[in-house]
Structure 1
Amino acid sequence: MNSQNSHRKERILPSALSLILLASTLCAPAAGSDAGTLVVWGDGEPVGVCKVTAFAASEGGGVAVTDHHTLVPFRGGPGIIPDNLPSQITDLALQGVRAISAGWYHLAALKEDGTVQVWGDNLRGQSNVPPGLKDVAAISAGGFQTLALKRDHTVVFIEDPTIYRPRIERAVAIAAGLQHSVVVVGPPIRPRIISSPADQTVTVGTDVAMEVDARGTPPLYYFWFKNGERTTFTNRVIRLRADDHTAGFYSVQVMNELGTVASELARLAVLGVPYGKVTGWGDNSDARARAPIGLDSVRAVGAGTTFSVALKQDGTVAAWGISSHGETNVPAGLDRVKAISVGDLHVLALREDGTLVAWGDNEYGQGSVPFGLTGVKSIAAGGSHNLAILRDDTVIAWGRNQRGATNVPPYLQSVVAITAGREHSAALKVDGTVVAWGSNDHGETSVPAGLSNVVAIAAGGNHMLALKHDGTVVCWGRNDAGQCLPPILPIVTAIEAGYAHSLALTQDGRVVGWGSIVASRVPSTLRNVISFGAGWFHSLAVEGPPAPMVSLGQVGDELNLNLGLTPGWRYQFEKSSDFRAWTPVGDEFLAPTGAMTHKVSMDSLGEFIRLKTSP
């Protein structure tokens, strides 16, 4: 405000001054400077202050803000502008000033960081800035009050604390007079995002802050999501410690009474996280469900009766638990392994060259490999027998055959997947149908009539699971522990069967279990599962990086995929027309630290694309 008393001497505005901010002969601005010169008159002779960007004046004097965001006082009145103000300003840390306002005998400064400093007369509390006041967008000093307009469109009154002021929201402008104040209130505003959370790539253990800047009629409510799932965070700014559990894709929904708006996705990539850790649950006798300390970079796991096996990304194998028949004695020098399968007391490993290595119990020859067997594409180890798919998509079997588990039907061909139970076997054909043979004591080889469109199969002790292309699961066989009574499931992407329990991997990277309580009680913290295995009374899972975030567009016969991937992990596109036989598309590639766009050519309509992850 500007206030005048009749006893004060006044000077008429010089005719040459059509604006307050202009060049003056009282100081010499730098050549070419756009900053103005403030000429002050009143009591005494005119004084010039160079490079002024803002000023305020009132009864007791005034202050100018220079282009360096510092304050220069002029014409001090009683108590408001003492002669030594410049040093006091420094003491009060009043650099970085964005705006000023002059009251009757007090001055207010709004700083660049959104805080406020008030000094001068404090008869009615007009200089008592509330502790913690921040996020201020505008100020106005009056006779005996100071007003602060915050970024959330609320108003703070700095004045006599005994005066009641109702909470004012949706304020868009403020003005303080000698004995009154004015607040302009705008219409209700739907929330809008000014800036979304930003992508960040950090090292493990780093403290991370993710924030959103939103506007709208208060109160605003914030709901944060990670990988599409709502979290417990409800603040504008959230703080995290970067590790394998916090890495992922974040977004936030901002809501008020008028509506909701969602931010863009932000990726938190964490470098140095040892992905590929193994989590176990169920019977942990002799630590069979507890992975050795330091075991990481695992790509696949398998569970036997009393032991566990892991295939690492470097093609080597680790095993732990009880070794009554040498099942945890991995052959020395075994490497270049691309798949493992675990039986009751033996292990089968498929090497990259299509040859096999077996170890463990060999009572029925299951712990050895038929002489000259090569060209193997896929393997399955059962209770005491083994199956293998050869290059011509036929099946070979060996080991225990008391109940016909190795009696492969002579007509069986065009096989894309196999599985072996305790004393039964099954194969998935390229047409999506299932063939089973061996023991049928509990109906495990009685494939449901009309079963089709199957994309995966899994054999348990005496039961079977089949995953259909629509993500549903079909079960048959023994059901004494509820292993064939799946709960209501979301879309399933993979299945595993243990002795008396069943497991399903859902599309959001979680594992759901049913059947034997001990082995099917999945840890609630398990996320981003890339591999899992079911044994007799325990289960295992491998946690990988967050699932890739993909958005796509199509140009002609090319798909442009915008990818958010985990740095340091390898990915491979594959395509299929039936969800069973998958063909690589292009080369395997290493994920960069930033987002990337990948083009995939489509040969014909009806083809499907998937993105495989490997450490």
Structure 2
Amino acid sequence: MKQTHTCNYPRLRALMAIVLSMACLGGFTAPVIADTVVAWGYNGNGQTNVPGGLSGVTAIAGGSEYSLALKSDGTVVAWGYNGYGQTTAPGGLSGVTAIAAGGRHSLALKSDRTVVAWGYNAQGQTNVPGGLSGVTAIAAGYAHSLALKSDGTVVAWGWNGYGLTNVPGGLSGVTAIAGGDNHSLALQEAASPTDILLSSTSVLENQPAGTVVGILSAVDPNLGDIHTFSFVSGTGDADNASFTIDGTSLKTAAVFDYETKNSYSIRILATDFGGLTFEKTFTISSDVNEAPTDILLSSTSVLENQPAGMMVGILSAVDPNLSDIHTFSFVSGTGDADNGSFTIDGTSLKTAAVFDYETKNSYSIRVRVSDSGALTFETQFTITVTPLIAGTVVAWGYNDKGQTTVPGGLTGVTAIAGGFLHSLALKSNWTVVAWGWNGNGQTTVPGGLSGVTAIAAGYVHSLALKSDGTVVAWGWNGYGQTTVPGGLSGVTAIAAGYEHNLALKSDGTVVAWGYNEYGQTTVPGGLSGVTAIAAGYAHSLALKSDGTVVAWGWNGNGQTTVPGGLSGVTAIAAGGRHIVALKSDGTVVAWGYNEYGQTTVPGGLSGVTAIAAGVEHSLALKSDGTVVAWGRNTDGQTTVPGSLSGVTAISGGGSHSLALQEAASPTDILLSSASVLENQSVATVVGILSAVDPNLGDTHSFTLVSGTGDADNGSFTIDGTSFKTAAVFDFETKSSYSIRLRATDSGGLTFEKIFVISIGDVEEGPFPMEIVNENGTFRLSFESVEGWTYVIQYKNALSDATWLELDSVTGNGEPMSVTPDINGISRFYRLHIVPN
């Protein structure tokens, strides 16, 4: 629709006049004409039915299917949808000077500069902050509210799902505000920059022309304003010609010599986007080049059996010349014995071999740092090899898609990761195993994937970090989460969120990709010195080397509002909408969404060495190898399996949990029965074998083995877990047998034990069976023992191979008899007794 407006005011004021004279409501439009209101459009809730006789109107506002009008007498009239009381103005409301309508709530500004709110309040949008005064303007979003104060600052309250109420720090000089459905706006009065900052004001002598001295930036009340920098004539401009400005970089235009001149004066002009300026004089000093005084290495240990090329740590130099540039190299001298086992790539120290802890667990190298002036410093480092602790996986919680059904025989696991409905395991041969839901290919590990050093699991996608510092991703790619950024390399850690990913680079910076509706992949500018990362539903975390935490993305539940003063953090974990942090003292701090108690850390929890977070639950690993869990438990995700111990790593999935147990040998063998009656047939089951093992869910095989106590191994066999006889035993001949058994777990660890098998004595009669002829009828008669079974068997000829059964009876402790049907047939009979 084309609109025309003619006015004798500047253009900005003309546009504002249009806004003030027309309100766009949910589905309809109402212009102010003189002092009456006309409305049209959708009228499903009467929002265009202007009350009869309404007049004297000075302002209007439209919400979602309801309308407000401010009268000249300072009262408010409302009509339309009133499901949440949004059109029921508080009784006695008067002295109103401005109104605003949100989705389902209403605001009024009174002449005393206070605010009144009513209507829907599920997100606190009508909870006006206590003591709010001096307000000059109001605005309402769908579920949040804004107030402009007379000092030019803004106050916001209500729903904060997209950071709607996080007013930018330092925002001032505001002249107007507006609330959108899911965003907020402020109009700032144009203001000049108030200062110019230069990151460094010194440069080493003898550096080539074009050397960067420092980075320029401006302080400006107008947040987000853009600035250009240039030299300007005036006081302090004597040495402007000795420098150049390239964007925001102040560079040298000559080679400086400390002995000739060691101080330079320049004058710089900062100009903002609107042409407003600020000038400042800087003194640039030319420093004498001094040698580095130390070399630092971020880590001095490496895991055994990892492929060559693995990152050991990052090299850095201590140098009095803070802006100096350094290169690192190996050098001959004391402690250089193992230089050949490593390489240096820029500032990264990497392995050049595969290390084995049992063969050699300590390596000595000598490194030299050279500054830009060729001054050097050398030092020796001892690199220790850490044994690879591989184990088995224990899983519990929701199992609808098989995410807690650990694949049989899975051993040699070094890392675990829980996704929403799937699980991952990294093996000691640097390959990946996946199980659980595969609706989007998230458990279909790419063929040939190897050399993996870390894994991460998202909602329906998976990540792997390779030893060469590259990342592989698979699964659903609806938001580009499995499209790894081109050229991404030098990665040392990865994290997978719901539908986004993070990668930590060796230089301490973070790269993010995937879904970004809430800013979860918009890494804060200048973020560096990062040592660990974590990704939640729609938020991201970074742990810095100084022990502080940086968070960004969705803050609907305060998950990115890091507790003030939090420091000394050594590990971080991100849940669905909450965060868990481990401190250096072994205690845990948590914040964010807490409906299920996931941020209510159990009282007295200490000695924690690792943490993990599921969607709505939290986990902690203690120094004694046990696990503590809290939060939502509708699917048993916080019910830690009894006797779980020896845990080395934990991970939280959607509604399930994973633990990595250190491989441990079985500690005992159990046999359900160690006795068998004499006269039993070969292959009679003596008992069932089982093993006691710290690794819950481990599988075992059993064998007879040579060694002390193995004298009678040949008299028995093992069929799976069934221990069986290999002979018919006679109590009178031998009443006990000695055997030696071995239990072997899925990882090849064993336990052996001696058993003595006793032979049970069977009461063997005599039990005569007589053939009694009574008037031509033959009867087989015998004495019986109560509870025993007596089987009458026969052969037609003694040479027949098998005895056939005629009858079977249970003894009652008295004489018994069986009458066979002979009918002239000649047969041989015997009595077979089965004791109870």
- Structure 1 length normalisation: TM-score? 0.44
Higher RCO structure (Cα 8 Å, ≥6 apart): 1
- Structure 2 length normalisation: TM-score? 0.32
Larger radius of gyration: 2
